Amino acid sequence: MGSRASLHLQDDEITAIQQETGFLPNQIIRLFSRFTCLDKEQNGFLTRDDFSRIPEFAINPLAQRIVDTFFVESEDHLNFRQFMRTLAHFRPCTPKTPHEALNSRDNKLRFVFSMYDYDHDNKISKEELLQILKLLVGSNISKEQLSHIAERTLLESDKNNDRNITFDEFKTVMSRTEIDHKMSVRFLD
Amino acid sequence: MKIKKNFSPASLLAVSVLLLILILKTESASNSDGFLERHVNRKLFSTDSDAAYSGSEDSSAEVNSMMHDAHEPLQSHSECSNTSHGGSNRFPVATVNWQRVSNPYIIALWIIGAGMVKILFHLLHKVVSRVPESCVLICFGLIVGGIAYSINKNHRINELLFNPDTFFLFILPPIVMEAGYFMPKEPFLENLGTILTYAIIGTIFNALAIGGSLYGVYQAGWMPGLDEFGKLDILHCLLFGSIISAVDPVAVISVFEEIHVNTILYICVFGESLLNDGVAVVLFKVFEEYIKIGVCNIIAIDIAAAIASFFVVAFGGLFIGLIFGYVGSFITKFTVHNRIVEPTFVFILCYLSYLTAEIFHLSGIIAIVFAAFTMSSYVEHNISSKSHTTVKYGMKMLANIAETIIFMLLGISAVSDFWQYWNTGFVLWTLFFITIYRAIGVVVLTFMVNYVRLDKINKVDQFVMAYGGLRGGIAFSLVSLTSADHVPTIKTMICACIVAILFTSFVQGSTIRPIVELLKVKTADKHKISMFEDINLRLIDHLMAGIEDVTGHHGHHYWMAKLHELNTKYLAKIFTRDPYKSRNEELLETFHRINKRDAEEIVQEIEKGNSYGELAANGTFANLLMPLEMRKSYSQASFSNMIRQRGPSEACIDMHAFEAHDTDRNDATIHHLLEENMYKPRSRETTRYRRGNIDDDSERKKQETEIFLRHKLTLRRRPKHYKHKHNKHKSRTSSKTPSPLTAGSKNVLKPNNTASSLYNERARLLLAPSFSQPQMKDENKSTKPSSNEPDEGITFSVPTKKMCSKNGWNFVRDPLGFLSSFETLPEEPASDEEVEETGTTQVDSSVALDRELPWKRSNETEQAVCDPHNTAEPSKSYEPETSHSGQLWPCKSDTADKEDGEKANTGETPAKEMITINIHGVDEWDKMSEDRV
């Protein structure tokens, strides 16, 4: 599988991706084979359907949101480069990781933030929060309950009292959490 | 030393020592020479060892000999009856049958003694806080052992409690059960691989390496003098190695708990030391068998069998543990009407799992650990909160006692005649090897583990892990259970083992704390997780599981997600009474917890005597305002308001409503709620579950005196003209004060008046005086002592009577609500006195309830709570408002514009005819809050 997959992957592409994302060539090749494996139509890009075919996504309440994070807005195709760029957020990071690297703490947090921030206005509104909560908690909880939780959340996090959670506020909330390894996946070599 | 100052500890010490000596005496009955001793033994404790009497022990002889001193004639009769025993036995008036109860009696005395030592320890703890508890217990054991030894060299205390049966069947299970039950689930599962690596590979490596090295050293002739005691075999060495490689959880964990080391370190050491007990026991049994077979007779098949049996034993134990765990969870599903048996099931089923595993020679330790571990996940949802408390306390209690007994016995056994088998070489080599191999094992295994782990275990953690390898009770038990027939040098090994235990406990145990502090080991962040943080963490969990799915590599997120799915979808449905209502039950639990915490904080603040001014001064003011609406609704929901809110309105914010299904609108529940919520802040100190470290209740005493003072003051200040049938709960707020409800608030805030006028001073300075003064001016010029301004400042927000009575609900929306949230009062509708009375009673729980005499108190409470008026009336009388209050939350949340709402409210307030001054105050506060925010 790996050998066949690597056939499509040019060396210069690998180096380019490596530079951009920091993945090792072996990891890139492995992930590329995964990419082609997901790409059922063999057309070189992934669609949302491809993602939804991943069996485990059926039980993931946030599946849709996760898929959304892969796709740049209003685009239906995801090429390998974009695919890798998204995954690069989840490379393990150390305190030495440069700030601007994709897998830095900041960018990891930004990624989570963007999962909330559906309308890309750099703020989490109560509605956005509610949507995520609904996904997380399921439908058995009454709307009021969820609303209370959302309200509570907003109140405790919203420092500038604009009824929204900005990224800075978000960062403050998460400042004491060990995001670094919580949001890291071990990519096989 | 504290003891000298205080008589009771000294007497306690004396009593416990006496007790132990009594036990000793009882047990020191074997062939003694001295007349006195013989006399005593024969007359008092005629034990079976006394040949002359043992056979002819009949009850009358016993009773007579017991009464020896007092009734001389009877004694002669006893002599007579003794000599002619079996002959003319008269009917005895009273009989003594010591023999029958001796063993349990002695054990019971032991436990009492151990308990007293515990108490002593805590008195000593102030003096020697650096020394781990185990050391103190060992020391105490040494003292008792020394006394025992000096009285009788052949006392057999140890044998009585410390034989294989008692140890493995009674002493060990509680300890491991407790550990399994309180094992943090998520970290344990997340680090399972690491823990298993350390526990299994690490222990085997240690056993083999220590055993092999000892043998090598022995062969090299570096252990001079050992041959005198017997030949040392390679198997003997390995047996000893497996014994000594068992790291004891007790000592390390108590230290770790105190310092709050980070979760990973904690769980690794905890899990490892727990499971490696099981591994060590298995190894021990394997080598014991081998010794029986003989080193020359061992063939390959034996080794293969040993390896196979190892897995059978371990996984068999796991299997049995899981089965019993699930059975227990399942049974407790049906105990709704038999709450009292709930703890029994938990305890006995855990214990049964242990016994069952032992029947099949599987690892009972692993079985009971996992039985308790499994049960703790589900049982909690099934059993009542009180049963749960019982279970938790029971576990801790049993484990604590067992632990104490082990350590004391260790001390006692240390004073014995086996020291003549001392061999310096062997002991020193043992010490050397256990230290060095522990370090090597940890480093090598960590290196392996780190290859897989995402969050690497760093050098400091490794060091602490290696250094925390204390040896304890298990090692000692195993070594003292080995018979000299198999291992001729066992006495030397006991020496070495005891030295190793003492060395590790004393040297490492007492230095690990400073070292941890010195190395700045990452300590667990004890910050209370906020709601948003929790949501984020759950989100991240799902996200990571999703990402792992995308990459196609199933890492631990994948498995955790699977496990979670399995749990919520199937297991929880089978094993809990009301299955999870949502996918993320924990999220709701967090919400619930946060609610409670808010409430508790507020109550604590108030009980501590902090006024708002104080809070503001502490910079928590912003926080205060921030969750203002939340506090308003939540904290009150947790107190008095909850009752009312739950009654009339569906907009109950508290999660109780969620958890306790719908049938809760009756008095019983209210009572329950009250109990749960009101006593919390005070009982919190005592319900903290840390083994052997219960906080002293000086805080409580302070509170009590405070309450007493408050009570006095209240009485003194109660205005004459204020008439109310429950006026006990009322303070002086009078007809003049708009709402009698203020009374409660003043009660609550009374500390300002009494406990510390300092608070008031400060509070007054810090608190915006503008609204405290008007209040002063207007409202309370008559009654208040001058130091009461903060109160005034606070109480000012109490709406007019009119508003209160008319629209108690509406008031919640008042921006001042955050103030009222402290008082809980303004929202109390004053429509009818009963209701309001309830409110008062409930609000200042500690005040109202505790300042009553106990017998009155209960009555009072019941009256207040169960009075049909209180519960039925409110709901009726608020019926019209139900819709309105029902909007309470949705309103707030849906308008999504707090600012507007607040403004509207402020606009509303004047319309509600609040006292003009109050309005001033309102504005003041409003401004202030806005500024702050």
For an interface test with B, the pick among A28, A185, A187 (most B C-beta atoms closer than 10 Å) comes out as A185
Look at residue A74 in the predicted model and tell me its pLDDT: 67
Measure CB to CB from residue A157 to each of B532, B558, B565 and give the nearest one: B532
In chain A, which residues have their Cβ closer than 8 Å to the Cβ of B539? Answer: 62, 112, 115, 132, 136
Judged against a pLDDT cut of 50, whether residue B233 lies above it is answered with yes
Inter-chain contact A31–B551, Cβ cutoff 8 Å? yes
Residue type, B475: A
Q: What is chain A's Cα-based Rg?
A: 18
When comparing pLDDT for B373 and B9, which is higher? B373
For range B925-931, the mean pLDDT: 44
In order of B289, B297, B491, B493, the CA distances from B481 in angstroms are 14, 24, 11, 12
Give me the residue label for tokens 């030391």. B273
Q: If contacts are CB pairs under 8 Å, which of residues 94-133 in chain A contact chain B?
A: 112, 115, 126, 129, 132-133
CA dihedral of B431, B437, B440, B442, whole degrees rounded to 10: -100
Residue of A nearest to B190 (CA): A182
In chain B, which residues have their Cβ closer than 8 Å to the Cβ of A34? Answer: 550-552
Quote the minimal CA–CA distance from B623 to chain A in Å: 8
Measure CB to CB from residue A147 to each of B537, B634, B893 and give the nearest one: B893
In chain A, which residues have their Cβ closer than 8 Å to the Cβ of B653? Answer: 148
Q: How far apart are CA A82 and CA A17, in angstroms?
A: 10
Quote the minimal CA–CA distance from A31 to chain B in Å: 7
Inter-chain contact A126–B893, Cβ cutoff 8 Å? yes
For an interface test with A, the pick among B264, B543, B556 (most A C-beta atoms closer than 10 Å) comes out as B543
Name the 3-class secondary structure at A166: strand
Look at residue B886 in the predicted model and tell me its pLDDT: 37
Query: Does B36 contact chain A (CB < 8 Å)?
Result: no
In chain A, which residues have their Cβ closer than 8 Å to the Cβ of B926? Answer: none
Q: How far apart are CA B445 and CA A50, in angstroms?
A: 41
Which of the residue ranges B36-40, B193-197, B619-623 has the most confident prediction, judged by mean pLDDT? Answer: B193-197
Query: Does A182 contact chain B (CB < 8 Å)?
Result: yes
Domain ranges of chain A: 12-88, 105-180
In chain B, which residues have their Cβ closer than 8 Å to the Cβ of A132? Answer: 535, 539
Measure CB to CB from residue A57 to each of B546, B584, B594 and give the nearest one: B546
Does domain A105-180 sit in CATH 1.10.10.10?
no
In chain B, which residues have their Cβ closer than 8 Å to the Cβ of A137? Answer: 582-584, 587-588
Residue B889: half-sphere exposure toward Cβ, Cα within 13 Å: 25
Q: How far apart are CA B881 and CA B875, in angstroms?
A: 10
B317-363: pLDDT as tens digits: 999 999 999 998 888 888 888 888 888 888 999 999 999 998 988 88
Look at residue B17 in the predicted model and tell me its pLDDT: 64
Measure CB to CB from residue B550 to each of A54, A112, A145 and give the nearest one: A54
What is the distance of C-alpha B773 from the center of its chain? 47
Alpha-helical runs (H) found in B28-67: 35-45, 51-54, 59-66
Measure CB to CB from residue B582 to each of A54, A132, A138 and give the nearest one: A138
Inter-chain contact B582–A56, Cβ cutoff 8 Å? no
Measure CB to CB from residue A156 to each of B454, B626, B933 and give the nearest one: B626
Look at residue B742 in the predicted model and tell me its pLDDT: 38
Q: If contacts are CB pairs under 8 Å, which of residues 515-534 in chain B contact chain A?
A: 525, 527, 530-533
B622-655: pLDDT as tens digits: 344 444 444 444 443 333 334 334 433 333 344 3
Look at residue B669 in the predicted model and tell me its pLDDT: 53
Look at residue A7 in the predicted model and tell me its pLDDT: 52
Quote the minimal CA–CA distance from A2 to chain B in Å: 13
B117-137: pLDDT as tens digits: 778 777 776 666 667 777 777
For range B681-690, the mean pLDDT: 40
Answer for the pair B877, B835: CB distance below 8 angstroms, yes or no: yes
For range B68-97, the mean pLDDT: 55
Q: How far apart are CA B491 and CA B487, in angstroms?
A: 9
Inter-chain contact B552–A37, Cβ cutoff 8 Å? yes
Residue of B nearest to A91 (CA): B454
Measure CB to CB from residue A138 to each of B544, B546, B583 and give the nearest one: B583
Judged against a pLDDT cut of 50, whether residue B792 lies above it is answered with no
Query: Does B619 contact chain A (CB < 8 Å)?
Result: no
Which percentage of chain B shows pLDDT scores above 90?
5
DSSP assignment string, B119-152: HHHHHHHTT-TTS-HHHHHHHHHHHHHHHHHHH-
When comparing pLDDT for B143 and B13, which is higher? B143
Look at residue A156 in the predicted model and tell me its pLDDT: 77
Residues, chain B: 933
Domains A12-88 and A105-180 share a fold: yes
Non-local (6+) Cβ contacts of B719 within 8 A are B732, B734, B783
Look at residue B209 in the predicted model and tell me its pLDDT: 92
pLDDT classification of A89: cutoffs 50, 70, 90:
confident
Q: How far apart are CA B363 and CA B354, in angstroms?
A: 8
Q: What are the tokens at A85?
A: 């760029």
pLDDT classification of B303: cutoffs 50, 70, 90:
confident
For an interface test with A, the pick among B191, B264, B527, B542 (most A C-beta atoms closer than 10 Å) comes out as B542
b/e code B95-120 from CB counts within 10 Å (16+ = b):
ebebeeebeeebbebbebbbebbbeb
For range B403-431, the mean pLDDT: 81
Judged against a pLDDT cut of 50, whether residue B176 lies above it is answered with yes
In chain A, which residues have their Cβ closer than 8 Å to the Cβ of B624? Answer: none
Look at residue B349 in the predicted model and tell me its pLDDT: 92
Residue type, B252: V
A140-185: pLDDT as tens digits: 677 777 787 788 778 777 777 777 888 888 888 888 777 777 787 7
In order of A137, A145, A146, A148, B148, the CA distances from A141 in angstroms are 7, 6, 7, 11, 65
Look at residue A58 in the predicted model and tell me its pLDDT: 76
pLDDT classification of B371: cutoffs 50, 70, 90:
very high
Judged against a pLDDT cut of 90, whether residue B744 lies above it is answered with no
Which of the residue ranges B41-45, B536-540, B751-755, B852-856 has the most confident prediction, judged by mean pLDDT? Answer: B536-540
Judged against a pLDDT cut of 70, whether residue B57 lies above it is answered with no
- Give the closest residue to A149 by CA, choosing from B597, B653, B527: B653
CB pairs under 8 A between A and B: 173
Measure CB to CB from residue B455 to each of A149, A153, A181 and give the nearest one: A181
Inter-chain contact A155–B552, Cβ cutoff 8 Å? no
For range B73-89, the mean pLDDT: 47
In chain B, which residues have their Cβ closer than 8 Å to the Cβ of A61? Answer: 542, 583
Inter-chain contact A186–B553, Cβ cutoff 8 Å? yes
Q: How far apart are CA B135 and CA B145, in angstroms?
A: 15
Name the 3-class secondary structure at B613: helix
For range B55-77, the mean pLDDT: 40
Give me the residue label for tokens 């907009």. B651
CA dihedral of B770, B772, B773, B778, whole degrees rounded to 10: 120
Q: If contacts are CB pairs under 8 Å, which of residues 10-29 in chain A contact chain B?
A: none
Q: If contacts are CB pairs under 8 Å, which of residues 555-584 in chain B contact chain A?
A: 555, 557-558, 561, 565, 581-584
Average pLDDT, chain B: 64
Quote the minimal CA–CA distance from A12 to chain B in Å: 22
A28-60: pLDDT as tens digits: 888 888 888 888 777 778 888 888 888 777 777
Inter-chain contact B545–A181, Cβ cutoff 8 Å? no
Q: If contacts are CB pairs under 8 Å, which of residues 39-78 in chain A contact chain B?
A: 51, 54, 56-57, 59-63, 66, 70
Does domain A12-88 sit in CATH 1.10.238.10?
yes
b/e code B881-908 from CB counts within 10 Å (16+ = b):
bbebbbbbbbebbeebebeebbeebbeb
For an interface test with A, the pick among B186, B461, B547 (most A C-beta atoms closer than 10 Å) comes out as B547
In order of A51, B383, B538, B573, B576, the CA distances from B570 in angstroms are 26, 19, 20, 5, 10
pLDDT classification of B921: cutoffs 50, 70, 90:
very low
In chain A, which residues have their Cβ closer than 8 Å to the Cβ of B581? Answer: 138, 140-141
Measure CB to CB from residue A66 to each of B543, B634, B892 and give the nearest one: B543
When comparing pLDDT for B447 and B385, which is higher? B447
Quote the minimal CA–CA distance from B932 to chain A in Å: 10
Query: Does A186 contact chain B (CB < 8 Å)?
Result: yes
Look at residue B632 in the predicted model and tell me its pLDDT: 43
Name the 3-class secondary structure at B748: helix
B558-581: pLDDT as tens digits: 787 778 778 877 887 778 776 655
